[in-house]
């Protein structure tokens, strides 16, 4: 009888040990999952903060450029087109600044598909230069890069309201509004981040050939 009870006690002890091991394994597994989730959340939060900082820096750079935009005529006619190029994937314009700080420039901002990036390049605008061709542009600098999609559009404010178009080329006036929309390629169902810029410059009809009408201090909104 005593030997039978001893064998039963040994069986119960083995079963209890197995239960303890299983519970310990479950606890360890849950702990590992928790640590992994916390690490991923922390990494995602850090990446999100870095992305927002990159977007803010890029948008601020574009606003600085637009604050210096100038209406430069490309001909002697009163209704001559201005030195401005706008399409869904590219934006080119002239800027005018304090000549003691930096020379006038031609700025070109364009979408690069692979790898995805929005690039900015610039060139010194020599007096009388009224085209973007043959300009010795600097090496492009990425304003934004990564899994994004960008699109420019342009608007004119009329008595009938604001009229939007996908391009602004060969016009005798600057667009009233330039809009840049930015989509996250990982989830394009989300509403795009939108930057609205309005160039406020003097009337180009008052400019002499080859000269520009400098913009005011409130050149963006």
pLDDT digits (tens, 9 = 90+) for 38-97: 555 554 445 444 556 666 777 787 888 888 898 888 888 888 999 999 999 999 999 887
All structural domains of the chain with their residue ranges: 59-214
Note the pLDDT of residue 141. 87
Note the pLDDT of residue 11. 54
- Comparing 209 with 122, the larger pLDDT belongs to 122
Query: pLDDT grade, residue 219 (50/70/90)?
Result: very low
Whole-number percent of the chain with pLDDT over 90? 26
Query: pLDDT grade, residue 29 (50/70/90)?
Result: low
Note the pLDDT of residue 83. 92
Q: Which of 11-20, 64-73, 179-188 has the lowest mean pLDDT?
A: 11-20
For 144-183, how does the pLDDT look when each residue is reduced to its tens digit (9 = 90+)? 888 889 999 999 999 999 999 999 999 999 999 999 999 8
Note the pLDDT of residue 45. 43
Residue 111: which of 51, 58, 47 has the closest Cα?
Answer: 58
Note the pLDDT of residue 138. 79
Give the Cα separation of 202 and 210 in Å (integer). Answer: 15
Note the pLDDT of residue 171. 94
Query: pLDDT grade, residue 218 (50/70/90)?
Result: very low
- The two three-digit tokens of residue 95, written as one number: 């800027």
Please give the average per-residue pLDDT across 22-45, as a whole number: 60
Asked if residue 210 lies in contact with residue 131, where contact means CB atoms within 8 angstroms, the answer is no
Query: pLDDT grade, residue 25 (50/70/90)?
Result: low
Mean pLDDT of the chain: 76
Please give the average per-residue pLDDT across 204-213, as a whole number: 46
| Cβ neighbour number for residue 143 with a 10 Å cutoff | 21
Whether the per-residue pLDDT at 215 is higher than 70: the answer is: no
What's the number of CA atoms in the CB half-sphere (13 Å) around residue 115? 5
- State which of 37-46, 116-125, 137-146 shows the largest mean pLDDT: 116-125
What pTM value is reported for the model? 0.67
């Amino acid at each position: 009888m005593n030997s039978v009870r001893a064998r039963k006690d040994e069986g119960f002890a083995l079963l209890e040990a197995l239960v303890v091991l299983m519970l310990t394994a479950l606890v360890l597994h849950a702990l590992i999952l928790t640590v992994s989730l916390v690490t991923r959340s922390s990494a995602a939060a850090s990446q999100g903060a870095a992305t927002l900082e990159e977007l803010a820096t890029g948008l601020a750079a574009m606003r600085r450029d637009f604050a210096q935009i100038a209406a430069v005529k490309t001909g002697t006619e009163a209704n001559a087109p201005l030195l401005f190029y706008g399409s869904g994937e590219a934006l080119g314009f002239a800027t005018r600044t304090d000549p003691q700080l930096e020379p006038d420039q031609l700025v070109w901002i364009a979408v690069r598909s692979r790898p995805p990036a929005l690039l900015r390049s610039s060139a010194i605008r020599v007096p009388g230069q009224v085209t973007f061709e043959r300009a010795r542009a600097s090496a492009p600098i990425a304003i934004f890069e990564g899994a994004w999609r960008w699109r420019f559009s342009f608007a004119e404010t009329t008595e009938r309201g604001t009229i939007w178009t996908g391009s602004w080329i060969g016009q005798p006036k600057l667009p009233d509004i330039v809009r840049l929309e930015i989509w996250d390629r990982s989830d394009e169902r989300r509403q795009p981040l939108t930057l609205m810029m309005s160039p406020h410059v003097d009337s180009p009809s008052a400019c002499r050939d080859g000269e520009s009408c400098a913009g005011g201090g409130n050149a963006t909104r």
